[in-house]
Amino acid sequence: MKKSWIISLLTSFVLIGGVLLSPAASANAANAATSTYSDQSYEEFKEYTTQLFALETYEAKAFTALESIDTQVTSTNRKSMYLKLTNTVIPNYTKLVSKAKQIKPTNPKIKKIHDIFYQGKLHSARGVPPVPKGSIQEQSELHVTKTG
């Protein structure tokens, strides 16, 4: 029992001993690894997210108005539904898409993310879900023919 305890203690010391004996070197290594990752990339990402959060107000206004609309159109609510859609939902979502288009990230990875974000918002504004690339060609190859 005592031997296993001593072996365990020695193993623990060997594994973490380097950190305990030279904490300053370990801390400097951690700082160097973090800073070499790219402070510039972090700042670009931070700037990008700030620009995205500025768009949140347009989306929030559009969704708040959309949530207040009943799900069924009746003779009593059709005019209010139309007015909310044309005066609040569509203009705010259009502003969201146009402002999102104006965001031009310089980092290629952030640009790739933003392109996906923008395409998603554009499709949402159009009311059309994104379609996978292969399915468009397959659908265009289907032809309806009249017989007889």
101-142 pLDDT, tens digit each: 999 998 999 999 999 999 999 988 887 555 565 554 444 444
Q: What separation, in Å, do the N-terminal and C-terminal C-alpha atoms of the chain show?
A: 93
The C-alpha atoms of residue 35 and residue 45 are separated, in whole angstroms, by 15
Distance of CA 69 to the CA centre of its chain: 27
- State the residue for tokens 């594994």: 15
Residue 23, both tokens: 């904490």
- pLDDT at position 57: 93
Residue 126 is predicted with a pLDDT of 84
Residue 134: its pLDDT value, please? 57
Tokens of 122: 């554009």
The residue among 90 and 148 whose pLDDT is bigger is 90
Predicted TM-score (pTM) of the model is 0.58
pLDDT at 114: 92
CB-count exposure of residue 96 (10 Å: 0-12, 13-18, 19+) = buried
Rounded mean pLDDT of 66-88? Answer: 85
pLDDT tier for residue 54 given thresholds of 50, 70 and 90: very high
